[in-house]
């Protein structure tokens, strides 16, 4: 026969059911139809990008706007001397007999100050010269020069000279030779061959003022420029130097009767370029 529950048992069961229902209600009423709140991630502080480091622009040489290099679009120079300090070791400063054995070339005749090289020739023919070796076969060279009115015996010269020291066979390119003592005209001399053959030209210019003198040497020509304008050319390949040449700066003495008036030439800068 079915088991009957006592009143006490029924009351206990009822209490358990009520408690379970109450617990369920508590859980249900703890939920919400609203979505959970989302907490935004903290905003990082703004980042500042440091500006790229700046480099000083390359120094613009005096008179560069009228140089052959600028006007003709030459590539960057292989080397430059602005004479802003003592002479570099690349220069061979002459110390011995002067041109053709006349007078003497002395290191004491060469000074630098304020970015200017000065060569001084005195009354006795003591003067100076210097060579910028080693040279190159083919290339371009340019220098900025001025020369006050001078004694007739002093020539201010920019030239190319053979590295092999085999003159006259090795050639000589005087692309600026100031012979006129008033410095109102300048000559060019191209020396070539065993007999020291010469081709020459002359340009009228006030060389007591700063001017840029340049030369270009290729396998088929030599051209001289004054402030970027061509004024001398040789297209004869037999007249061109056979080997490497280097730049030289010289104040040469060609003595005449009596003593000379002290004379100077000044150089602001020189540059050597590849082709």
Instruction: Give percent of the chain with pLDDT exceeding 70.
Output: 79
Average pLDDT over residues 259-268: 95
Of 183 and 45, the structure prediction assigns the larger pLDDT to 183
Check residue 47 and give its pLDDT. 59
| Cα 29 to chain centroid, rounded | 85
**pLDDT tens-place string over residues 190-241:** 999 999 999 999 999 999 999 999 999 999 999 999 999 999 999 999 999 9
Average pLDDT over residues 47-75: 81
Mean pLDDT for the chain overall: 87
- pLDDT over threshold 60, residue 27: no
Q: Prior bond to 184 cis, omega within 30?
A: no
Strand, coil or helix: 110? strand
What phi and psi values does residue 101 have, to the nearest 5 degrees? 80, 10
| Distances, alpha carbon 245 to alpha carbons 40, 58, 59, in Å | 76, 28, 27
**pLDDT tens-place string over residues 82-99:** 999 999 999 999 999 999
What's the pTM? 0.80
Residue 42, CB half-sphere, CA atoms under 13 Å: how many?
Answer: 3
Rounded distance between C-alpha atoms, residue 193 and residue 148, angstroms: 34
Of 1 and 55, the structure prediction assigns the larger pLDDT to 55
Rounded distance between C-alpha atoms, residue 268 and residue 265, angstroms: 10
Check residue 257 and give its pLDDT. 79
Q: How is residue 221 annotated by DSSP?
A: E
Q: Prior bond to 66 cis, omega within 30?
A: no
Q: How confident is the model at residue 4 (pLDDT cuts 50, 70, 90)?
A: very low
Check residue 258 and give its pLDDT. 75
Beta bridge partners of 121: 263
Check residue 41 and give its pLDDT. 56
- pLDDT over threshold 70, residue 40: no
- pLDDT over threshold 70, residue 6: no
């Amino acid at each position: 026969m079915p088991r009957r529950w006592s009143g006490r048992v029924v009351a206990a069961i009822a209490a358990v059911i009520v408690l379970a229902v109450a617990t369920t209600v508590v859980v249900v009423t703890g939920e919400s139809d609203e979505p959970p709140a989302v907490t935004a991630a903290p905003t990082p502080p703004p980042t500042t990008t440091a500006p790229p480091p700046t480099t000083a622009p390359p120094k613009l040489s005096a008179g560069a706007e009228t140089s052959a290099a600028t006007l003709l679009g030459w590539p960057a120079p292989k080397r430059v001397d602005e004479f802003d300090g003592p002479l570099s070791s690349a220069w061979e400063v002459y110390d011995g007999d002067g041109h053709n054995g006349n007078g003497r070339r002395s290191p004491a005749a060469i000074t630098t100050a304020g970015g200017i090289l000065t060569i001084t020739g005195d009354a006795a023919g003591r003067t100076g010269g210097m060579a910028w070796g080693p040279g190159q076969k083919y290339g371009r060279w340019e220098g900025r020069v001025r020369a006050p009115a001078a004694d007739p015996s002093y020539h201010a010269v920019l030239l190319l000279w053979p590295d092999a020291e085999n003159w006259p066979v090795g050639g000589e390119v005087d692309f600026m030779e100031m012979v006129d003592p008033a410095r109102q005209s300048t000559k060019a001399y191209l020396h070539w061959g065993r007999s020291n053959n010469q081709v020459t030209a002359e340009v009228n210019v006030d060389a007591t003022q700063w001017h840029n003198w340049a030369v270009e040497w290729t396998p088929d020509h030599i051209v001289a420029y004054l402030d970027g304008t061509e004024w001398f050319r040789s297209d004869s390949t037999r007249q061109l130097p056979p080997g490497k040449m280097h730049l030289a700066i010289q104040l040469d003495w060609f003595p005449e009767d009596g003593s000379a008036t002290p004379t100077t030439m000044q150089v602001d800068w020189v540059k050597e370029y590849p082709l």
